[in-house]
């Protein structure tokens, strides 16, 4: 039987893995052909010889689409996954359907990167938040979780020196986008999100109530509702 469901791809965030989307996939699987992947170095995927960067992760998405003969796909990207999705929309618009981001940080400079890097010390994570360290170990069983954390810190440092998406880039994204953020997100600011929202030619902005940055804090049925609404409505 031919699958007539719209294809949608979930992209995880820094230190994340596709396993975090289990509940969201359950909510949407009746309506979409749901796809998930782990970026290299995450989950069960080994580190890539090409490096550890937004560009490498974007190339992995393109390879995934090619392997599965998908001409285009809607993308829901959480945190860093949303940044990768917008990078793809900027440079490969023919491959992207509609883009939905959640809790994505857009304003990268040395100050913002430095603040995040301070939180990415494997020794401190193990000492101060052992439950999180254990979760990372289980999530990245095919890799050394401490190496994942260190590589992520390097990636963010590079973004701090040279942001890959500037306001002029967002202004050239022709793909319809929905930017979603939680009202209690202490990593992503309203200001940076609204600035990008205003720069995007075809964009909507949604704020989730009583929602912090971690994906696990999101109201999954509400999130699924907004994804369905945005991907099926006329723009």
**How confident is the model over 156-172, as pLDDT tens digits?**
999 999 999 999 999 99
Mean pLDDT in residue range 10-18: 96
Write the pLDDT tens digit of every residue in 86-140: 999 999 999 999 999 999 999 999 999 999 999 999 999 999 999 999 999 999 9
Would you kindly state where each structural domain of the chain is located, as residue ranges? Answer: 6-106+165-232
Q: Tokens 């500037």 identify what position?
A: 166
Residue 93 tokens, joined: 């618009």
The tokens for 235 are 């723009």
What is the per-residue pLDDT for 3? Answer: 66
Rg over alpha carbons for the chain, rounded to the nearest Å, is 17
**Strands lying side by side in the sheet with 32-36:** 32-36, 6-11, 73-78, 96-102, 177-182, 203-208
> How many C-beta atoms surround the C-beta of residue 76 within 10 A?
29
Residue 199 CA to residue 97 CA, distance in Å, equals 19
Q: For 140-160, what is each residue's pLDDT tens digit?
A: 987 789 999 999 999 999 999
CA dist., res. 105 & res. 187, Å (int): 7
Q: What is the CATH number of domain 6-106+165-232?
A: 3.40.50.1820
Mean pLDDT, range 187-191, rounded to an integer: 95
Mean pLDDT, all residues of the chain? 94
Asked whether residue 215 carries a pLDDT value surpassing 80, the answer given is: yes
Whole-number Å distance between alpha carbons of 154 and 1: 46
């Amino acid at each position: 039987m031919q699958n007539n469901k719209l294809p949608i791809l979930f992209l995880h965030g820094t230190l994340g893995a596709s396993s975090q989307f289990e509940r969201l996939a359950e909510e949407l699987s009746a309506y979409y052909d749901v796809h998930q992947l782990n970026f290299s170095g995450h989950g069960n995927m080994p580190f890539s010889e090409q490096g550890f960067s937004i560009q490498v992760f974007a190339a992995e998405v393109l390879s995934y689409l090619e392997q599965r003969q998908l001409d285009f796909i809607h993308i829901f990207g959480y945190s860093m996954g949303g940044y990768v999705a917008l990078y793809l929309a900027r440079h490969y618009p023919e491959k992207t359907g509609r883009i939905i981001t959640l809790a994505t940080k857009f304003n990268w400079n040395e100050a913002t990167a430095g603040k995040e890097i301070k939180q990415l010390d494997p020794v401190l994570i193990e000492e101060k938040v052992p439950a999180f360290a254990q979760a990372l170990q289980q999530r990245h069983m095919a890799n050394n979780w401490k190496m994942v954390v260190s590589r992520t810190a390097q990636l963010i440092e590079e973004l701090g020196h040279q942001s890959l998406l500037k306001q002029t880039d967002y202004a050239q994204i022709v793909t319809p986008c929905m930017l979603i953020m939680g009202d209690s997100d202490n990593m992503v600011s309203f200001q940076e999100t609204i600035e990008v929202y205003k720069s995007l030619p075809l964009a909507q902005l949604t704020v989730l109530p009583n929602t912090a940055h971690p994906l696990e804090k999101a109201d999954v049925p509400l999130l699924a509702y907004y994804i369905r609404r945005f991907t099926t409505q006329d723009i």
